[in-house]
Structure 1
């Protein structure tokens, strides 16, 4: 296991692929860890040096007192790049990771080559959605995380995928049950407070927006909103719910690779 020391703890990461290849950073969704990208790794590591990490509050990374902000999480990414002496990289983030990607595109575009944001929006939900979840998780702890896991299957995957791929769905949703309640609640606050609707035009790096046709959490309309406000941005949509990288699998990987390898 590899860790980068931050001012207040350690950030867990894995880096794989040819040492001389361009770097591609993968950023996990709320309630998962770096292994949510496992299905992409064989394809991505053929072409890129792939850097995955557990966002603060998730997996094996530090859990610090909340609430967090997307800026804080974005600065963790920059600290990771600095520690590994990576000047520029491609970045692909899903859901909360897509919010981090938007922050980086707006505030640190000079560190990015190309940007992919998946199953995300410039603003996700509102306090009436997030505050009760935060309160419940902080009150009930691990029991609340198990309840969230059981409810997440319908949000993260379409019924046909869950029925046909129960082991794959369970592998991902079990990540949620294993997430620190304090870390999860702190990240919920970061998602709650993020709003990039008035700043999307500041993203100047090449951008691909990916959506899931059956995503009730961040529907395609949110992806179109981003794509229409970033000059030259591309858009792709797959038959999927919220975790399109898992459900669309190889088709997702192929579309990302086509975007990253295009001149």
Structure 2
């Protein structure tokens, strides 16, 4: 475990693989930590430099007072990658992680040569929806909404397995302040115009049963970027890397090969 102090927040991060490997950076969804990617890592090509981190207010990173701005989350990621000497990575972002990817590519294209936008969009939800969620978390914590979150995250077959408890426990153990802070960041984000100006290889991934970012919403964002590719993973919700790791890793590996990253 390693901690990087950006000056504003202390980020927990992990690097796996050789120092000179082609860098692949992963950014997690709201309510999860860097373990989100554990199911797919053993299935990826060997020799990659895998970089994962907990965004502010999540996992083992510090939790500043809410609300957060998307610009702060992007800046945290930018500082971490500069600290690690990363250039020309493939950036894989899921949900809010995909929003961070879009913003970082707009700001620092020298850091990212290609990206995977998974279960995300240029704009997610409405200000009123997020305001309601922030109030609910601040009033009662995450536990009362955990079952509803699981319904958005996973298709029915996965929710019937014992593994569901792992992910339910993960979300309820995130700091309520961090969940509310990142919810506010999503609420204030609309990347339709900057994302439409991006010119780099992009793979979009959606889950057919995703209740947070439905396939049509993901597709709409992916199609803003010329030459992008879009794939749907069937019988998967918001976290297809958990439900169908082999299919997800195969799509990611194919994309890494197509852009010459492995």
Q: So what's the TM-score if we normalise by structure 1?
A: 0.94
Q: 2:151 aligns with which of 154, 173, 194?
A: 154
Q: Distance in 2 between matches of 1:100 and 1:244?
A: 19
User: 1:27–1:97: 8 Å Cα contact kept in structure 2?
Assistant: yes
C-alpha separation between the residues in 1 aligned to 2:114 and 2:47? Answer: 15
Shift of residue 36 of structure 1? 0.7
Shift of 1:75: 1.0
Q: Which runs of 4+ in 1 moved over 4 A?
A: none
SS at match of 1:15: strand
- Whole-Å Cα distance in 1 between the matches of residues 3 and 169 of structure 2? 23
Match of 2:166 in 1: 171
Corresponding residue for 1:112?
A: 112
8 Å contact kept, 2:151–2:211: no
Instruction: Identify the residue that residue 254 of structure 2 maps to in structure 1.
Output: 258
Q: Write the distance in 2 (CA, Å) between the matches of 1:74 and 1:9.
A: 12
Q: Secondary structure at the match of 1:65?
A: coil
CA RMSD, 1 decimal: 1.3
Q: What pairs with 1:49-64 in structure 2 (closer than 5 Å)?
A: 49-64=49-64
3-state SS in 1 of match to 2:122: coil
**Per-residue deviation at 1:109?**
1.6
CA apart distance, 1:90: 1.2
Task: Give the distance between the partners of 2:38 and 2:45, measured in 1 at CA.
Answer: 11
Q: In the alignment, is the contact (CA less than 8 A) between 2:206 and 2:218 conserved in 1?
A: yes
1:102-154, Cα deviation, whole Å (9 max, x unpaired): 111222222102100100111100022111111121122xxx21222222211
Q: In 2, distance between residues paired with 1:6 and 1:216?
A: 34
* Count of aligned pairs between the two proteins: 258
Indicate conservation of the 8 Å contact 1:70/1:100, yes or no. yes
Give the secondary structure class of the aligned counterpart of 1:208: strand
- Structure 2: unaligned runs, 5 residues or longer: none
Unaligned 5+ runs, structure 1 = none
CA contact (8 A) 1:16 1:45 kept: no
Normalised to the residue count of structure 2, the TM-score between the two structures is 0.94
Alignment match, 1:188: 183
Question: How big is each residue's C-alpha offset from its partner over 1:61-90, in whole Å with a ceiling of 9 and x where there is no partner?
Answer: 011122112221111111001111223311
Tell me if the contact between 1:105 and 1:204 (Cα under 8 Å) persists in the aligned partners.
no
- 1:148–1:176 contact (8 Å) kept in structure 2: no
Over 3 Å counting, the alpha-carbon distance change for 1:227 and 1:9 in structure 2 is closer
